[in-house]
């Protein structure tokens, strides 16, 4: 298994290289060269597996045994999930006859990010120990982990990497835009290799700085930056496991009167990594209905599914596609209209075979197809602003992981006879991959320069076959928290955090038009104690509610009063570079080298 960038290029990386590098030099995200097939009898053979054993089977599909021997991989997985408080790691909680909540907050920092970041931290340590075996101090390879957080990634990454040998971690968070508990979880960790930077700006500002640092060739080469945000492929891989675990768990809990049940996952969504893991699970072969993308007022994703435009600010324009007109003007043939079954079949084929890069051109002069979706915009968009909501971990303007989905959508729309930028016609899968990557780069460049991009109708239709999307306001979020706490049936009361409430609110709306055989599973991404203000305010009129008794875990008691360490910085890449340079050089005072071979 090799990995390559969504924006193309000749790089073909091993799993280790993709994990340690994080972000491709051309700004793209690493994806696997193909989606492996599940074992023939997986539904039977995996049905009774524990979470850790299920993770071992899934990870092994993407991590060759010659990179991490199976026994070593098993040990990494077991150590990663030994820190979780629930024996099932991500248990299902029933809240209705056909409604479940998948609790992902039983890790050390009480958020779903722990599932991936406990594993990623152990991966980093494993790879560096292997590289540094027998090396004297001055020749050891180091890793400087740099990440941006809107709240939960930071603490989960810190807990996964604190005190790890040869690793330093720098987490950027938007000053004053995380909950007090979230901030305290990060800034009260005083290990020598942990550094928290409070940035005067938004999460998107933090994320932009991180991407700029990764694209700074000289700085990256000197300090070898490692990624913990969901741009790192290992995080997406780790998150696929709980979709399979939930699917197996719910099979024994389906009501007797539900015939041919279909599972529908609803996912509170900010940076798109969590729901993308569900998309990968679906295309690996996990049976499920359309995934539900649930956003708050920062609804760039919900608007994409509605209008076909990926734009930072809502232009208010109706849905319209002009890629066919443009392709005709360019002298290219536009795409044929496909039935839904034909289109889904083609998408499954494209994804399953997706990027089998070893295949050569078939050599046939196929009819030229349109270049997929050269970005079209009737007017330059605006940069937009991030709205502050009750669900701050989702207060994101641009979802970085969406680029991975865009690649597969672009791949589906690129036919076997692809027309390159120079007009050359090339057939075969390799040509399709090359053209899909070229179009992704065009789209992302357009988004950066004009703050918006339209993609072709074929791409939007493909996205709509796999996912549906909607948003929930703060008022709806509050009412949903109240609704589930007030449940008087056998499934209540339940205290949801505001992010989970966004997912529940959107899922409830969609459930009204679902067929009766659909079973909903809403992902609970954080423990309600992390958002005490939103939860307490929503339930202030409930006389039976006591936050400390009903919600607050013992691990949070006194957290806000503990000693903190944080570095205030401006929204300035050069200042952040200076801080990293100063502290890494001091931490590893002896001469050493950055992690090599990348």
- 519 vs 262: CA distance, rounded Å: 6
The tokens describing 174, both together, are: 């938007």
Beta bridge partners of 311: 452
Active-site residue, selected from the candidate residues 2, 48, 113, 441: 113
DSSP string of 396-413, one letter each residue: -SS-TTHHHHHHHHHHHH
Residue with tokens 């929503």: 538
Q: Where are the beta strands (DSSP E) in 437-580?
A: 452-454, 467-471, 518-524, 567-569
Q: Please give the helix or strand (H or E) that residue 502 lies within, else none.
A: helix 498-511
The tokens describing 228, both together, are: 């913990």
548 is catalytic: no
The tokens describing 505, both together, are: 């609110």
Comparing CA positions, the residue from 288, 244, 250 lying closest to residue 266 is 288
Q: Where are the beta strands (DSSP E) in 160-224?
A: 167-174, 194-199
DSSP string of 43-98, one letter each residue: HHHTTT--HHHHHHHHHHHHS-TTTS-HHHHHHHHHHHHTT-SSTTSS-EEEEETT
Using CA atoms, how far residue 13 sits from 9, 169, 232, 353, 384, in Å, is 11, 24, 13, 18, 36
Residues taking part in catalysis? 113
């Amino acid at each position: 298994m090799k990995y390559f960038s969504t924006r193309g290029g000749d790089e073909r990386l091993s799993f280790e290289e993709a994990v340690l590098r994080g972000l491709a030099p051309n700004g793209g995200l690493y994806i696997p060269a193909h989606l492996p097939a599940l074992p023939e009898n997986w539904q039977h053979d995996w049905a009774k597996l524990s979470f850790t054993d299920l993770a071992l089977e899934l990870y092994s599909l993407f991590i060759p045994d010659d990179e991490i021997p199976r026994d070593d991989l098993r040990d990494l997985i077991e150590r990663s999930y030994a820190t979780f408080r629930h024996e099932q790691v991500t248990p299902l909680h029933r809240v209705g006859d056909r409604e479940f909540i998948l609790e992902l907050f039983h890790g050390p920092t009480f958020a779903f990010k722990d599932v991936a970041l406990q594993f990623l931290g152990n991966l980093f340590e494993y790879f560096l120990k292997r590289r540094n075996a027998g090396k004297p101090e001055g020749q050891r390879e180091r890793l400087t982990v740099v990440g941006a957080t809107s709240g939960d990634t930071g603490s989960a990454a810190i807990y996964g990497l604190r005190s790890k040998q040869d690793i330093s971690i720098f987490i950027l968070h938007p000053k004053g835009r995380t909950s007090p508990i979230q901030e305290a979880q990060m800034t009260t960790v005083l290990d020598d290799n942990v550094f928290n930077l409070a940035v005067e700006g938004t999460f998107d500002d933090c994320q932009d700085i991180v991407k700029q640092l990764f694209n700074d060739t000289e700085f990256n080469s000197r300090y070898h930056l490692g990624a913990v945000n969901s741009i790192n492929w290992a995080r997406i891989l780790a998150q696929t496991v709980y979709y399979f675990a939930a699917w197996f768990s719910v099979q024994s809990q389906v009501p007797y009167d539900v015939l041919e049940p279909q599972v529908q996952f609803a996912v509170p969504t900010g940076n798109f990594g969590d729901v993308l893991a569900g998309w990968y699970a679906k295309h690996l072969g996990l049976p499920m209905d359309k995934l539900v993308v649930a956003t708050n007022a920062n609804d760039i994703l919900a608007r994409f599914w509605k209008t076909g435009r990926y734009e930072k600010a809502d232009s208010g324009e109706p849905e319209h596609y002009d890629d066919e007109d443009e392709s005709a003007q360019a002298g290219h043939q536009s795409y044929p209209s496909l039935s839904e079954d034909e289109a889904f079949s083609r998408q499954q084929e494209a994804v399953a075979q997706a990027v089998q890069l070893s295949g050569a051109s078939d050599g046939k002069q196929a009819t030229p197809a349109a270049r997929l979706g050269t970005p079209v915009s009737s007017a330059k968009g605006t940069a937009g602003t991030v709205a502050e909501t009750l669900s701050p971990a989702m207060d994101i303007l641009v979802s970085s992981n969406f680029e991975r989905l865009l690649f597969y959508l672009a791949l589906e729309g690129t036919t076997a006879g692809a027309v390159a930028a120079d007009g050359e016609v090339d057939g075969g899968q390799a040509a399709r991959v090359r053209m899909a990557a070229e179009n992704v780069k065009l789209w992302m460049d357009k988004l950066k320069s004009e703050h918006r991009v339209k993609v072709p109708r074929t791409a939007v239709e493909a996205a709509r076959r796999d996912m549906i999307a909607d948003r929930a306001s703060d008022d709806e979020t509050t009412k949903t928290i109240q609704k589930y706490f007030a449940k008087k049936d056998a499934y209540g009361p339940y205290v949801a955090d505001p992010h989970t409430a966004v997912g529940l609110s959107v899922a409830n709306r969609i459930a009204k038009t679902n067929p009766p055989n659909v079973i909903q599973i809403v992902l609970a991404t954080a423990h309600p104690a992390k958002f005490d203000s939103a939860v307490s305010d929503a339930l202030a009129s409930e006389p039976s509610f006591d936050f400390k008794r009903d919600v607050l875990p013992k691990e949070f008691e006194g957290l806000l009063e503990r000693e903190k360490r944080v570095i205030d910085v401006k929204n300035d890449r050069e200042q952040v570079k200076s801080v990293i340079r100063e502290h890494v050089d001091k931490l590893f005072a002896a001469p050493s080298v950055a992690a090599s071979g990348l």
